[in-house]
Chains A and B, each alone.
Chain A
Amino acid sequence: MSVPLVPKLLRAHLTELAENNRRLDERGQWDSRNLEIEHSVLPRAEGSAKVRIGDTIVYAGVKFQIMTPYEDRPNQGGLMCSAEVRPLAGRKYEPGPPSAESIELGRVVDRGIRESGCIDVDSLCIIPGEKAWQVILDLFAISDDGNLFDAFAIAGIVALKEATIPAERFEVGKDSKLEVTGTPIMCSYHKVGGRFVYDASFREELGGDERIHITLGDNGNVHSLQKGLKGIFTADEFEEIMGHALERTKQISKIINSL
């Protein structure tokens, strides 16, 4: 990944904006950009979604494979999340193996979904000790205008929720819907101009500092946390963003469950 130049003017301007409770695009500190969610968009995937937040656009696709269960867990299948941010999505992404940033992105989204237990790996057994389903969630960026984390996380859970287990294609029974209990949602906050904001745009990320990702489940249960990039934050700041996350995850969960 080539590190883009951070203009000093941008950082100074973002600080002045923050001190006056403003943002580059006139949003409030906790406002999101326009969120669009589509599902069943990939003909070859067993479950899929496309999410657009502002000019950030991502796809998520669910594919199933048959795996041999681990010896110590003969009745369990598996869940694997993989994220790709390729040069297609932005000038800063270079061809070649995934950057540390892209890998972190995939793993953080993975943990949020996995730790919520929304996929019960015990229910993925086909023949104990011999065959089980592996659910593979592939996250694919089309356009990066900031906050790929939340876009991926939303696309991921939507795709899982509409996924169908292709038992017939693998000749192990009848097709059935993948059981997904609960709706884990991630909210990402970026320190811009000295304070945390929700749903940072590309320029805010460029001129900003550290970021924090919070994944909450249906009852506000905390399922994963991650702090990334250089910077220091206080307990008070964290409390404030957790408060926002509690509200916002409920909102997004409602939107997803009424699709």
Chain B
Amino acid sequence: MSMSKSADAPHKVEKETGIVIPGDDLGEIKDKLAGHGVLEINGRFTAVKKGIHRVKERVVSVEPIYSKYTPRPSDLVIGYIEGCTNNIWFVDIGAPFNAILPMSLGPSKAEFGGARSVIDIGEAILCRVQEVEETHSSVVSMKGMGLRKINSGIVEQLPPHLIGRIIGKGGKFLSDLKSNSECRIVVADNGRIWIDGDLPGISNVRKIILELENKDFGGGN
């Protein structure tokens, strides 16, 4: 009995927009390498994410339109303390799971069992990703220049794929934003942004962040 085996030829890239979706064929492998968002299947590259198809040097990749933050070592991140035990804090860094901040990498020494008096649950911290395990859980550290508990201002959120936009070419957009608003602004790699200054300044920056999100082409949500 012969029945249809394939619905259609493998689907090509949407030429006009350059946006590909999961399952789209991205050509023969030949001498190229699979980058982010691309899998090698049966000798050909297949997109596995919705995003912009890019070929840079020998790397074929898909830059996702919308993605969650996945931590990498040395990333600067803003985290919220979700819980703690005697000598570690559990930190929500907006990744698929919480990071761990061991007491030894914390801001200062505390007695065993005294974690909450140093940083309490619900507080925000500026820290760096120290290492990422193969199961994707990470360890963060507050030992380093500028790393600290955040005690003033507010933290806003942008989807990580828009970070480049708020920084701008050569950092121009961000430095203009800082001087116009007279605020201290720290853009972390996990899409969180710490803004500190007077209320009108903070409100201005917040408005700009919202505009960036709304202008996001074909974004998730």
Contacts and interface: CB of A to CB of B under 8 A. Distances in A.
Touch between chains A and B, by CB atoms below 8 Å: yes
A17 interface: yes
Interface residues of B, number: 18
A177 interface: no
A6 interface: yes
Nearest to B150: A9
Nearest to B154: A13
Contacts, number: 35
A5 B122 contact: yes
Interface in B180-221: 199, 202-203, 206-207
Q: Is the interface of B mostly helix, strand, loop or mixed?
A: mixed
A16 to B, nearest CB: 7
Interface of A: 5-10, 12-13, 16-17, 20, 22, 24, 26
A55 to B, nearest CB: 9
13 contacts: A5-B80, A5-B82, A5-B92, A5-B122, A7-B123, A8-B122, A8-B123, A8-B124, A9-B150, A9-B153, A9-B154, A12-B152, A26-B203
A7 B153 CA distance: 12
Contacts of B152: 12
B37 to A, nearest CB: 24
Contacts of B153: 9, 13
A47 to B, nearest CB: 30
A66 B199 CA distance: 58
Interface string B133-167: 00000000000000000101111000000000000
B88 to A, nearest CB: 17
A9 B207 contact: no
A24 B206 contact: yes
B120 interface: yes
B82 to A, nearest CB: 6
Q: 10 closest pairs, A vs B, by CB?
A: A13-B154, A8-B122, A9-B124, A8-B123, A7-B80, A20-B199, A5-B82, A7-B122, A5-B80, A6-B122
